[in-house]
């Protein structure tokens, strides 16, 4: 078993039928808090995210990011023997997480209603694309598709040049919503007076439309589709990125009228703009965004990044440096705060960032990334199968080959 006996979720067993990012992110969070996560994979290749690339010592970056701290068991769920083993795993589980194709769980007899009868103690969590009951419920859903359908791409990039936000925001956010739901229901379990465990359904589309809350609310009440502004925001001004004299890029932002006054007077030395009633409120400044960007951009182009950031810090104005991923990997703030930890993988040890929550008296265990089927024999032995029974399942190809 992976985890620590004193972890917050020690003693909780999660079985997961997962692919790609959303469900794996959900269960990685649970594993980081000490839950035992048994990842059931198809013997023929496993989670397809294992094969997106091979840049991490022969392994895929997506996979090693989302799958530490889990045990991999290979089961062919199209074989009777494989399904029987899955049910034996669920007999001792607390949670079942899945993000398979629409209808797949129901076809295997693992929908919420089925769990209520056969495994009433299990909290069933199904992540899907669009949620049931709508005209596009049966469509396949990937992060880009959901971001486009939900309007996220329309508010990212530049006018006439929409873009997908770089990180898989739909997948990550849905996984986190699912993990939060699981922890909430595990907590509520101690107060529930009998009955079957509740089930949870979280769709990527519902998650992204929730994340689009500001833009949808604005459009709903104004009738205006806000245009994307690159590294800026349609909600506030001035707020954006500006090239510096030494060839770098600074990001400066204001969120209220007082900050605007300080930026104009103490940083760019433009008291005329500060006194001009045409820029008095944020709504005024948003309407005249281009003029403000020109003034700030002209000033930034005359100064080095370090000078600009010191002036902004001294004035209490939010600012940052535009970084490439390679610069973030080497970021001194991460090093100074000891944010990196070693994680074992089948290809060798790698360094991974600690989970964001910093909890007193507890550090997330950050267990190893599993090889495909690495824990099949140990997990099956743990639920009572004999060596002979495991060998028979392997002969039937209901489980994958012995891990090498």
Q: Which residues make Cβ contacts (< 8 Å) with residue 240, sequence separation at least 6?
A: 229, 230, 231, 232, 251, 252, 253, 293, 296
Query: What is the spatial distance between Cα 226 and Cα 217, in angstroms, rounded to a whole number?
Result: 11
Query: What is the spatial distance between Cα 163 and Cα 254, in angstroms, rounded to a whole number?
Result: 25
The answer, yes or no, to whether residue 159 has pLDDT greater than 80, is yes
Helix 22-32 / helix 169-189 crossing angle, nearest 10 deg? 50
Helix 204-211 / helix 169-189 crossing angle, nearest 10 deg? 100
Mean per-residue pLDDT for 76-81? Answer: 94
- Provide the token pair at 104: 């797949």
- Whole-angstrom distance between the N-terminal and C-terminal Cα of the chain? 19
With pLDDT > 90 as the criterion, what percentage of the chain qualifies? 95
The answer, yes or no, to whether residue 3 has pLDDT greater than 70, is no
Confidence of residue 194 (pLDDT cuts 50, 70, 90): confident
Give this prediction's pTM.
Answer: 0.93
Q: Each residue of 120-131: pLDDT tens digit?
A: 999 999 999 999
Q: Each residue of 311-347: pLDDT tens digit?
A: 999 999 999 999 999 999 999 999 999 999 999 999 9
Q: Which residue has the tokens 């004299």?
A: 245
φ/ψ of residue 105, rounded to 5: -65, -40
Number of other residues whose CB lies within 10 A of the CB of residue 301:
11
- Three-state DSSP at 213 gives helix
- What is the reported pLDDT for 1? 44
Environment class of 288 (CB within 10 Å of its CB; exposed 0-12, middle 13-18, buried 19+): middle
Q: Which residue has the tokens 């006018």?
A: 159
Confidence of residue 4 (pLDDT cuts 50, 70, 90): low
- What is the reported pLDDT for 192? 73
Q: Each residue of 343-358: pLDDT tens digit?
A: 999 999 999 999 999 9
- What is the reported pLDDT for 2? 52
Mean per-residue pLDDT for 12-31? Answer: 98
- Provide the token pair at 86: 């899955």
Query: What is the spatial distance between Cα 92 and Cα 89, in angstroms, rounded to a whole number?
Result: 6
Mean per-residue pLDDT for 272-298? Answer: 97
Mean per-residue pLDDT for 25-34? Answer: 97
Which sign, positive or negative, has the C-alpha torsion 237, 243, 244, 245? negative
- What is the reported pLDDT for 6? 82
The answer, yes or no, to whether residue 86 has pLDDT greater than 90, is yes
200 near 181, Cβ under 8 Å? yes
Mean per-residue pLDDT for 13-29? Answer: 98
- What is the reported pLDDT for 281? 97
Give the full edge-to-edge strand order of the sheet including 249-253: 239-243, 249-253, 318-321
Distances (CA, A) of 277 to 22, 143, 255, 297: 48, 44, 18, 21
- Looking only at the bridges linking them, the beta strands covering 350-353 and 340-343 are antiparallel
Q: Which residues make Cβ contacts (< 8 Å) with residue 178, sequence separation at least 6?
A: 22, 23, 26, 97, 125, 127, 200, 202
- Candidates 326, 332, 366; CA nearest to 350 is 366
- Candidates 304, 291, 23; CA nearest to 175 is 23
φ/ψ of residue 170, rounded to 5: -65, -45
108 near 124, Cβ under 8 Å? no
34 near 323, Cβ under 8 Å? no
Which residues pair with residue 399 across a beta bridge? 75
- What is the reported pLDDT for 61? 98
Number of other residues whose CB lies within 10 A of the CB of residue 404:
6
Query: Which helix (H) or strand (E) covers residue 262, if one does?
Result: helix 257-262
The answer, yes or no, to whether residue 78 has pLDDT greater than 90, is yes
- What is the reported pLDDT for 195? 82
């Amino acid at each position: 078993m992976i985890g620590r006996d004193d972890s917050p979720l020690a003693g909780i067993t999660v079985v997961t039928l997962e692919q790609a990012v959303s469900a794996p992110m959900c269960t990685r969070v649970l594993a980081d808090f000490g839950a035992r996560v048994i990842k059931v994979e198809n013997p023929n290749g496993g989670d397809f995210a294992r094969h997106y690339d091979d840049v991490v010592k022969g392994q895929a970056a997506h996979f090693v990011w989302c799958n530490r701290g889990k045990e991999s068991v290979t089961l062919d769920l199209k074989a009777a023997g494989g399904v029987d083993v899955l049910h034996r795993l669920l007999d001792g589980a607390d949670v079942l997480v899945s993000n398979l194709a629409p209808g797949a769980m129901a076809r295997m007899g693992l929908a919420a209603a089925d769990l209520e009868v056969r495994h009433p103690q299990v909290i069933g969590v199904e992540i899907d694309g669009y949620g049931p009951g709508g005209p596009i419920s049966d469509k396949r859903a990937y992060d880009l598709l959901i971001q486009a359908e939900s309007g996220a791409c329309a508010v990212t990039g530049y006018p006439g040049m929409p873009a997908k936000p770089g990180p898989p925001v739909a997948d990550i956010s849905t996984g986190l919503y699912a993990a939060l739901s699981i922890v909430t229901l595990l907590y509520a379990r101690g107060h529930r007076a009998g009955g079957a465990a509740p089930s949870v359904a979280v769709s990527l589309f519902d998650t992204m439309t929730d994340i689009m809350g500001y833009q949808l609310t604005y459009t709903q009440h104004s009738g205006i589709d806000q245009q994307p502004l690159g590294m800026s925001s349609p909600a506030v001004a001035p707020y954006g990125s500006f090239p510096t004299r030494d060839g770098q890029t600074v990001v400066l932002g204001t969120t209220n009228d007082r900050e605007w006054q300080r930026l104009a007077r103490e940083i760019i030395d433009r008291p005329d703009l500060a006194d001009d009633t045409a820029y008095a409120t944020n709504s005024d400044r948003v309407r005249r965004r281009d003029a403000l960007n020109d003034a700030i951009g002209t000033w930034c182009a005359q100064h080095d990044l370090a000078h600009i950031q010191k002036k902004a810090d001294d004035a209490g104005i939010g600012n940052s440096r535009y970084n490439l991923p390679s610069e973030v990997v080497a970021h001194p703030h991460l090093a100074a705060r000891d944010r990196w930890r070693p994680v074992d993988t089948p290809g060798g040890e790698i360094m991974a960032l600690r989970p964001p929550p910093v909890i007193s008296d507890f550090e997330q265990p950050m267990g190893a990334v599993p090889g495909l089927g690495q824990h099949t024999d140990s997990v099956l032995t743990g639920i009572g199968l004999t060596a002979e029974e495991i060998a028979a399942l392997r002969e039937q190809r209901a489980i994958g080959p012995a891990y090498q």
